[in-house]
Structure 1
Amino acid sequence: MYTILLVEDNEMNRDMLSRRLIRKGYKVITANDGQQGVDLAGSDRPDLILMDMSLPIMDGWEATRTLKSSEELKAIPVIALTAHAMAGDEAKAYEAGCDDFDTKPVVLERLLSKMNNLLGNE
């Protein structure tokens, strides 16, 4: 069973997506802000991180840069999630170190396909 770290500050989005992932057989841990996401990644070592980009305390861009600068954590795949997909956001996500990019509202089958690709399940 793969462990997914969902870093999302919106409680409704966090609960909905985590329930959907649990139904698909994933273990889900959640963080409410970027700093908590970085801390949980270090302590729980998830298999993949779903990172909202608009977060309090530390935004998703900075949290991803922090994770990818760590020798212990840089191999964990990160998928950027954003509701404010503007021109350049996808490139900005890759520059921050994200391994893939998806937009909100989440289309579960599309997201699962990206997750499976990064987890080596395709």
Structure 2
Amino acid sequence: MSKKVLVVEDNELNLKLFCDLLRAHDYIAEPVRDGREAVERARAFEPDLVIMDIQLPNVSGLELIETLKADAQLKPIPIMAVTAYAAKGDEERIRAAGAEAYVSKPISVMRFVESVESLV
């Protein structure tokens, strides 16, 4: 059975790219454009992995990671953070919030797929 991946990304091009890549590798991709819907959608979809953009409007990806990891039902789900703003110390803050993996944008397709495969 195919693994399910929840993709939280507000940029339409990135969202399409991530979902297309996942589907090409036999994953079921569920797009979420608004981070405010991420926790509710994660509960309903029960993904095997969450891919989380860090720079989201209305809510921080870091806050969402902390919220997901604080929820007993969602805590076991691995989170792969993706961000274009990779400043010194960002990866440490993202991992401290609870993300198991970190990929910077623009993504390397191979690294993206390898990271997904290592987490599910």
Query: Aligned partners of 1:22 and 1:103: how far apart in 2?
Result: 21
Query: Aligned partners of 1:112 and 1:17: how far apart in 2?
Result: 9
Which piece of structure 1 moves more, 91-100 or 28-37?
28-37
> Which residue does the alignment assign to 2:105?
104
Query: Aligned partners of 2:110 and 2:3: how far apart in 1?
Result: 17
Instruction: Give the TM-score of the pair, scaled to structure 1.
Output: 0.93
Query: Aligned partners of 1:72 and 1:51: how far apart in 2?
Result: 18
Instruction: Give the TM-score of the pair, scaled to structure 2.
Output: 0.95
1:1-122 correspondence runs (5 A):
1-119=2-120
Query: Aligned partners of 2:115 and 2:25: how far apart in 1?
Result: 14
Partner of 1:13, secondary structure, is helix
Q: Percent identity?
A: 35
Amino acid at match of 1:70: D
Which piece of structure 1 moves more, 32-41 or 90-99?
32-41
* Deviation per residue, 1:18-62 (Å, 9 max, x gap): 112111111100111222111111111100010000011211100
CA contact under 8 A between 1:33 and 1:59: conserved in structure 2? no
Which piece of structure 1 moves more, 56-65 or 45-54?
56-65
Q: Which runs of 5+ in 1 are unaligned?
A: none
* Deviation per residue, 1:73-106 (Å, 9 max, x gap): 0000001100010101100101111011010111
Partner of 1:58, secondary structure, is coil
Root mean square deviation, CA, Å: 0.9
Which portions of structure 1, spanning 4 or more consecutive aligned residues, are displaced by more than 2 angstroms?
A: none
